[in-house]
Amino acid sequence: MRRTCLLACLLLPALLLARLAAAETVLNVYNWSDYIDPAVIARFEQQTGIRVRYDVYDSLETLEGKLSAGRSGYDIIVPTSEPSFARLVRAKALLPLDRSRIPHWRNLDPGLMQRVAAVDPGNRFGAIYLWGTVGLGVRLDRVRALWPEAPLQAPDLLLRPENAARLAGCGLAVMDSATDVLPTVLAWLGKDPNSAEPADLRAAEQALLAIRPHLRAIPGSGALLDMLASGEICVALTYSGDVIQAAARAKAAGRGVELGYLVPPGGAHLWFDMLAVPADAPHPEAAFAFIDFLLQPESMAAITDKVRYPNAVPASRPLLAEAVREDPTIYPPEAALAHAFVAGTPGQGAERLRSRLWTRFRAGR
């Protein structure tokens, strides 16, 4: 009997540990690369006991490809409002957010949330995580040295073939995302950024092919950020925050790489990245807890300070580092936002045309 009791006493802690291990919740997050402060994740894990598995992507095409396969296993995804988030809402691929589990929802800027309500009526399926614009990252020191009178205007500096030819030696790049590049090119041509007209798309393709021989690379967002920070390229069409983040890295490295960000004066492509929960998320309650944690001003301030993208929680602004809070490239003035456009979601026919266009552009023919 004593041996039986002893065996039971020895087995009991092991059984308890096994049960605790089985009960441990693992939150599966799929987000853009270089797009969060790791310390925020650590605080969430410490305060909730929920472990986070964090995977990254560097284009919307990669995200949509992963989700289209079904049963991705992710609890949190961060699609851009147009077109990825909009398509997921229409496909009923997202879980409605339970606001009773997200009390810090009240911190969101109602004006910015209204901008995404067009694709998410009632803001049922997503909360804004971070946002920004598409423009030009420019290595100012190198461009000035090559061409002192260079017209520092976006996107002319890159999209005019004569300008691209003159600056090709210092490295030019366009991020590998038809979703985010084509609206800017169409707007520059004086077309509707959402145009599905074959003639308009042909004009955009011709404009891109005209500069294709002068491009050093068409990389994903993460790789492009690294190329800017190292000084490998001097002009790139990409996301605002990637340029600002690259500039901070370059300054810290002390190699004399001086980066600036140029916004198209006629109106920049404005985008919003959304916190969303897939309909088949394995741990929706943990997902709601994570969203609520991120919407706290302290969390959002830490994230914006780290990645240099603005957030949609106004109460975080006083908590930001002054250099971040007062930087107009991070938080554009209202006048600049008034002229910005939010790109729509192309229909299936237009999406096929854009995809074929982009394939030809990448191949250079």
Residue 3 lies in a domain: no
Note whether 305 and 266 are same-domain residues.
no
The two three-digit tokens of residue 86, written as one number: 């909009």
Convert the pLDDT of each residue in 2-27 to its tens digit: 444 444 444 444 443 334 344 578 99
pTM: 0.83
Residue 336 lies in a domain: no
Domain CATH for 173 = 3.40.190.10
Note whether 358 and 215 are same-domain residues.
yes
Note whether 266 and 288 are same-domain residues.
no
- The answer to whether 218 and 174 are in contact (CB under 8 A) is yes
Note whether 239 and 305 are same-domain residues.
no
- The packing angle between helices 240-253 and 221-230, to 10°, is 40
Convert the pLDDT of each residue in 260-280 to its tens digit: 999 988 889 999 999 999 999
In the chain, how many domains are there? 2
Note whether 261 and 276 are same-domain residues.
no
The two three-digit tokens of residue 128, written as one number: 């804004």
pLDDT of residue 266: 81
Residue 2 lies in a domain: no
Give the integer Cα–Cα distance in Å for 280 and 339: 38
Nearest Cα to Cα of residue 135 among 287, 222, 240, 250? 240
Note whether 222 and 358 are same-domain residues.
yes
Note whether 168 and 248 are same-domain residues.
yes
Give the integer Cα–Cα distance in Å for 72 and 83: 19
Compute the average pLDDT of residues 283-289.
97
Residue 308 lies in a domain: yes
Convert the pLDDT of each residue in 295-351 to its tens digit: 999 999 999 999 999 999 999 999 999 999 999 889 988 877 888 898 888 888 888
- Torsion over CA: 160, 166, 172, 176 (sign): positive
Note whether 121 and 94 are same-domain residues.
yes
Note whether 34 and 116 are same-domain residues.
yes
Compute the average pLDDT of residues 100-123.
95
Note whether 54 and 104 are same-domain residues.
yes
Residue 326 lies in a domain: yes
Residue 6 lies in a domain: no
Note whether 37 and 108 are same-domain residues.
yes
- Torsion over CA: 191, 132, 242, 41 (sign): negative
Instruction: Tell me the sheet residues that pair with 278.
Output: 94
The chain-wide mean pLDDT, for the chain, equals 90
Amino acid found at 287: A
Note whether 220 and 357 are same-domain residues.
yes
The residue range of the domain holding 351 is 132-270+343-363
Convert the pLDDT of each residue in 132-183 to its tens digit: 999 999 999 999 999 999 999 999 999 999 999 999 999 999 999 998 899 9
Residue 16 lies in a domain: no
